[in-house]
Amino acid sequence: MEHIQSVLAAHFGRRYCVLTNRGTTALTAALHGLNRPGARALFPAVMCSIPVFSAVFAGWRTGFADVNLDDANFDLNAVEQELKKGDVGAVIPVHMFGKPDDMSALEALGRRYGADVVEDVALSMGSRRDGKPAGSFGRISCLSFVRKMLPLEMGGAVLTDDPDVARRAQTFVNALPPEVPARRDEILSAMKAFHSLTGYVAAGGWIRRELLAPFENEFRRLLLASSGPRDWSGSIILDELKKLPDILQARRARAEVYENALGEGGALVALNRTGSSLFAYPVRLRGLAAEDFLAFSANQGYTFKRIAYPDIHGIFAPGGTFPNAETVEREMVGLPLDDDQPVSAFWEYAEDFRRAVEGYAQAAPTRRPMDTRGKLELRLGGVS
């Protein structure tokens, strides 16, 4: 276990590494490490909802800032507006679809307004920004190995250069109950139920938010666990880390297929992917509804997979206006880049996708508005 910690710390240029059972625990431990309970943790308004529970678990309040439409990461002006309120203790970029946020700018804003930057690197291991790897920015970085860039069933980590943060994070993790591998199917079922119910509540204007309240305690019970030597004995984490450059190269080859086959124009708008780990290939269907497109294309015999995340501020902090997050929620499709399929298969997939989008763009004006209740479970790109 100590060897794994030292290798991970060195890989990301950090002094300390605290291993956890998963990314949600890592982020919870990181916020405990900052020791600012009651402060506000600032998240992008569109992302997977599960990591946001970490702030609640750590005794923080939640806040949200809008994203930009260039790469779906934080909108810096929106972040600064929130920081000016004076109650933000941590800014938490999630590097949407694997492309790092503008970390230099976020760190500068954090210093100006007294907020720490905590990276969530679950989707972006292997990506780079300004010559540095994701995982090396901010006061703390948090990793998740559960079905993300490293295809494992367990594991996360807190990375920092601050010994006090590392000590408090480790103390928090040590005090948790032990990991129970048999619960993993239960966790997946609970997450699916939560996302499905969130879709129902969102479609009803968030009026029935009380239906979501029981999940806080359920996720605390299911997700937070200690991590000891027995959990990491025989782990293949370091072997998988060595494979990451090859994984990234394979994903780049598949992304190039999309670039050449899809092109750009009309309804298709590819997002900026510079330096990305390419967790997914993000495309906006400009002016079109992604969920309705999926339903339309399924009726045409296509089986496209949407990797996307919802506009989730309503779950934790109803109210507020996040127009770009709403656009991302409505129009974004993250196309898969799985390296378990040959590159040649992606040409056919991309051509089918382009044809389906063209067909939907012609049919969309005549279609009735779609009922999106229960659709959020389709957006699970992984489990933190």
**Model pLDDT for residues 232-282, shown as the tens digit of each residue:** 988 899 999 999 999 999 999 999 999 999 977 778 999 999 999 999 999
Rounded to whole angstroms, the Cα distance separating 72 from 52 reads: 17
User: pLDDT per residue over 315-338, tens digit each?
Assistant: 887 778 899 998 898 888 989 998
Position 241 in a domain: no
Q: Which of 232, 257, 281 is the last residue of a domain?
A: 232
Residues 66 and 41 reside in one and the same domain: yes
315 and 357 together in one domain: yes
**pLDDT of 180-222, one tens digit each?**
888 888 998 998 888 888 878 877 778 888 999 999 999 999 9
* Domain assignment present for 238: no
Total structural domains in the chain? 2
Mark whether 224 and 250 lie in a shared domain.
Answer: no
Nearest-angstrom CA–CA distance, 328 and 185: 30
Where residue 127 falls among pLDDT bands split at 50, 70, 90? very high
Work out the number of other CB atoms within 10 angstroms of the CB of residue 15.
12
User: pTM to 2 decimals?
Assistant: 0.93
Cα–Cα distance, 285 to 295 (Å, whole number): 14
Structure tokens at 239: 């072997």
Confidence of residue 376 (pLDDT cuts 50, 70, 90): low
Question: What whole-number distance in Å separates Cα of residue 343 and Cα of residue 254?
Answer: 6
Residue type, 172: F
Residue 51 is part of a domain; what is its CATH number?
Answer: 3.40.640.10
* Structural domain span for residue 200: 2-232
What is the CATH classification number for the domain harbouring 329? Answer: 3.90.1150.10
DSSP 8-state assignment for residue 145: -
Residue type, 198: T
* In the predicted structure, residue 380 carries a pLDDT above the cut 80: no
324 and 363 co-located in one domain: yes
Residues 6+ apart with CB under 8 A from 160: 14, 15, 16, 30, 33, 139, 140, 141, 166, 169
Q: Which of 232, 255, 271 is the last residue of a domain?
A: 232
> Could you report the per-residue pLDDT of 148-158, keeping only the tens digit for each?
888 788 899 99
| DSSP states along 239-251 | HHHHHHHHHHHHH
Q: How far apart are CA 43 and CA 144, in angstroms?
A: 17
